[in-house]
Structure 1
Amino acid sequence: MKIHNTKPWLLYALITMIFWGVWGAFTGEPAKSGFPNTLIYCVWALTMIPPAIYIVKRNKAKLQTDKKSILYGLVIGLLGAGGQMILFYAVTIGPTYLIFPIISLSPVVTILLSFFFLKERTGKLGALGIILALVALPLFEYSGGDVDAKAENGVLWFVLAILILVAWGVQAYFMKLANYTMNVESIFFYMMISGILLIPAAYYMTDFSQEINWGLNGPYLAAGIQILNSIGALCLVYAFRYGKAIAVSPMTNAGAPLITSIISMVLLGLMPGTYKMTGIVLAILAAYFLAIDSGVEMEEHDNAG
C-alpha cells in the first residue's frame, strides 16, 4: 500500500488542521484581554491580505475576472465571512455549548451537496472515516451542562446556528466547485476581498462604550493568532483543489478541534471531559481511515495505469 503516494489534498488538509488547531486554542485570548470579537474579525480580515498577495506574486497568477469567477469567489468569501459575523451575535444570545456543536455539523451539508451534484464517492474506509468525523464534531464542543440563562432568548440563537451551519457547508461545496474552473489564487483573492467588505459591519457592531485594549495583547496578539486562521484557509482551498470535498470537509472540521484539545491539555493545563475525550479518539480514527482510504485509491489508480 503506497501511502507515500497519497494525493496532495491530504498534506494540505493536515496543514489546515494544524494551523486551525493552534488558532482555535489561542483565538479567545485577545477577547479575554479586552479586545472585542468584532474587532478581532476586522483584524482577521486584514490578515487575509498578506497570503493573498504572496501566492499571486509567487505563482505569477493572473486573476480571473470573468463573471463566473467573480461570482464564485464572492459567494465563497461572503458565506464564510457572513457566517462569522452571524456567529458573533449568536453567541451573545444563546448557549455556546449548544451553538458550536450545531455549527460543527456543516460538513453534512457539504457531503450531501458533493454526493448529489458532484457525484463524489469514497471507499469503505473513507465512508467510515466520514461517519466517525461527523460523530466526533459535536463532541468537541458539547459540555453536557444545563442550559444557561441566555437560552431563554427563544429560538433565535438556534435559527442563527442553523444559518451558519448551512452557510459554511455551502461555502465548502462552492470552494470545491470553483476549483474546477478557477485557480487557487483567484479563489483566495476574492475570499480576502469579501472579508474586507464586511469590516464596516463588524466595526459598526462594536460597543465602543466599553474599555478596549489597544495594547500588545489586544490587536497585535489577535493579528499573530488570526494569521494562522488565514493560512489555514489558504491551505484548505488547495485541499479542495486536489481532494474530494466529501473527505476534506469532515477531516479538517474534526482534525482542527482535535489539535485544539491536545494543545489545551498540554500547554493550558485543561483536561477534557468524557465527551471531548471521546471526540478526540473518534477524530484520530477518522483521520486515519481517511488517510488510508486516500492511499488505497492512489494505489488502485497506479495499478490501473
Structure 2
Amino acid sequence: MNHAPSPAGRAWLFNALTTVVLWGIWGAFSGLSPERGFPETLVYCVWALTMIPPALIVLAQAGWKLDRSSRAIVYGVAVGALGAGGQMVLFYAVTRGPAYLIFPVISLSPVVTIALSFLIMGERTGRLGALGILLALLALPTFDFAPGGDAHGGSWLWMALFVMACWGLQAYFMKSANHIMSAESIFFYMTVTGLALIPVAWAMTDFSRPINYGASGPWLAAAIQVLNAIGALTLVFAFRYGKAIIVAPLTNAGAPLATAIISLVALGVMPGSLKLVGIGLALAASLLLAIEPDTATDEDAALDREIQSA
C-alpha cells in the first residue's frame, strides 16, 4: 500500500501555518488604527467588511453550494457569533492593555476546546495534552500581577479571558460543524454573522468625538484587518483538510504567541520577570497542545471524507 502523504495531508499544514503567520502579524498591529483616532467599534465594522471577499471566494470554489438545513444554520451562526463577539471585545482589549500579554492569554483557548470535547464528546487527550492544560492553568494567574499599577484597572485581562472563552467555544462548535456541513458554508455563516453585528458596533460608536477618516484611520484598519480575513479563509481549508483537534490548538495558540513575539520585538519592551514566566508557560502549553497526537477516530475520518465529497 502506498503511504505517501496526500496533497490534502500537506494542504492542512500549509493553510494552518499561513493562518498562524497572518494572524500573528494582524494581532501585533491591530491596535494601530484606534491609537490614531479611529474607534475600535468602527475597526470592527471594517473587519466585518473585509470578510466578504474571502466568503465569495470559498463559495465560488464550492460551486455556490450552501448548506441550508436548520442544524447547519444553528452551527454556522454559533461559530460566527462566538468569533465576531470575541473580535469585538478584542478590539477594545488591545487599546487597554499590552498585546504581548493579551494574546498569550488568548492562546490558551484550546484548553476550553479540549475540556468541552472531553466532557461532552467523550474525547480524551494524551499525556502531552494533559501537561499542556496544567501549564496553561499555571500561566493564567501570572498575567494578573501588575506591581507597577494598571491604568485600566486590569480590565484588559478580563476582556482577554472573555475572548479566550469565546474562541475556545468557537473551535469546539467548528469542530462539530465540520461533520455536518462544508467548511465553505461555515465560513459563509461566519461572515454573515459578523456583518449582522455591524449595527451594534455602529450604535456603540461615540460620534461626538473626533474620528480619523484619513489614510491612518479606516484605510489602515482595512490593510490590517484583511490579514485577519485571509487568515480566516486559510483556516477554513486547514479544517477542511486536517483534523480539528490538531488544527484548533495549532492556530488558536500559535497565532497569539506569534503576536506576542512580534509585539515585543516591534515595541522593544521587556515585561517583568513574572510575566515572562507566564509567557513562557503559555508558550510551552500551546506547543504541547499543538503537538498532541491526533486522537480522532476512524469514524471521524469517514465523516470528514463524506462532508468533503458532498
TM over 0.5: yes
Residues 1:81 and 2:84 are matched in the alignment: yes
* Structure 1 residue 253 corresponds to structure 2 residue 256: no
Unaligned runs of 5+ in 1: 298-305
Per the TM alignment, residue 36 of structure 1 is displaced from its structure 2 partner at its CA by 0.5
Superposed CA deviations along residues 131-183 of structure 1, whole A, max 9, x for unmatched, are 445655776x656345546439xxx9988766554433222211111000111
On the 8 A contact 1:136/1:280 being kept in 2, the answer is yes
Counterpart for residue 227 of structure 1:
226
> Which residue number in structure 2 is paired with residue 144 of structure 1?
146
* In the alignment, structure 1 residue 121 sits paired with structure 2 residue 120: no
| Matched residue, 2:304 | none
Instruction: From 37, 41, 45, give the equivalent of 1:38.
Output: 41
User: 2:238, 2:247 within 8 Å by CA — same for their partners in 1?
Assistant: yes
Partner SS, residue 180 of structure 2:
coil
User: Which residue is 1:303 aligned to?
Assistant: none
Task: After superposing the two structures, state which structure 1 stretch, 61-70 or 111-120, moved more.
Answer: 111-120
Question: Is this contact kept in 1: 2:108–2:282, CA < 8 A?
Answer: no
1:127–1:13 Cα change, 3 Å: farther
Q: Deviations over 1:197-242 (max 9, x none)?
A: 0101111111111111111111111111101112222333334445
Residue in structure 2 matched with residue 17 of structure 1 by the alignment: 20
Inter-partner Cα distance in structure 2 for 1:101 and 1:284: 8
Q: CA deviation at 1:190?
A: 0.5
Give distance in 2, aligned partners of 1:28 and 1:183.
33
Q: Distance in 2 between matches of 1:138 and 1:11?
A: 34
Q: Determine the C-alpha separation between the residues in 2 that align with 1:281 and 1:162.
A: 18
| Cα root mean square deviation, aligned | 3.8
For residues 266 and 247 of structure 1, do their structure 2 counterparts lie closer, same or farther at Cα, with a shift above 3 Å needed? same
After superposition, the Cα gap between the structure-2 partners of 1:278 and 1:10, relative to the gap in structure 1 and judged at 3 Å, is farther
Q: Which residues of 2 match residues 98-177 of structure 1 at below 5 A?
A: 105-132=108-135, 135=138, 144-145=146-147, 148=150, 150-151=152-153, 164-177=163-176
Distance 1:229 1:49, change over 3 A: same
Q: Name whichever of 186-195 and 206-215 sits farther off.
A: 206-215
Report SS of the residue matched to 1:35. coil
SS of 1:81's partner is: helix
Equivalence for 2:31 = 28
Structure 1 residue aligned with 2:265 = 266
Task: Specify every segment of 5 or more residues in structure 2 that has no aligned partner in the other structure, as ranges.
Answer: 297-310
Overall identity of the aligned pairs, in %: 57
* 286-295 or 191-200, larger mean C-alpha shift: 286-295
Give the Cα–Cα distance (whole angstroms) in 2 for the partners of residues 13 and 224 of structure 1: 21
C-alpha separation between the residues in 1 aligned to 2:146 and 2:234?
33
Q: Which amino acid aligns with 2:210?
A: E
Q: Contact 1:130 / 1:251 at 8 angstroms: preserved in 2?
A: no
| Match 1:50 to one of 48, 53, 64 | 53
**Distance 1:276-1:224 versus aligned 2 partners, 3 A rule:** farther
Instruction: Map 1:173-252 onto structure 2 (within 5 A).
Output: 173-252=172-251
Distance 1:252 1:128 in 2: 19
Query: Of 52, 65, 68, which aligns to 1:62?
Result: 65
Q: Say which is worse superposed, 236-245 or 34-43, in terms of deviation.
A: 236-245
- Pairwise CA distance, 1:288: 5.0
Q: Tell me: CA distance 1:95–1:224, structure 2 relative to 1, closer, same or farther (3 Å).
A: closer
Whole-Å separation in 2 of the counterparts to 1:285 and 1:251: 12
Paired residues of 1:45 and 1:195 also in contact (CA < 8 A): yes
State how far apart, in whole Å, the 2-side matches of 1:76 and 1:127 are.
26
Whole-Å separation in 2 of the counterparts to 1:127 and 1:243: 22
CA offset at residue 118 of structure 1?
2.7
SS state at 1:151 partner? coil
**One-letter amino acid matched to 1:27:** S
SS of the aligned residue for 1:271 comes to coil
Residue correspondences, number = 291
Amino acid at match of 2:36: S
Residue 23 of structure 1 and its aligned partner are, at CA, apart by 0.5
Tell me by how many angstroms 1:60 deviates: 2.3
Q: Provide the C-alpha distance between the structure 2 equivalents of 1:91 and 1:267, rounded to a whole number of angstroms.
A: 15
Deviation of residue 255 (structure 1)? 1.6
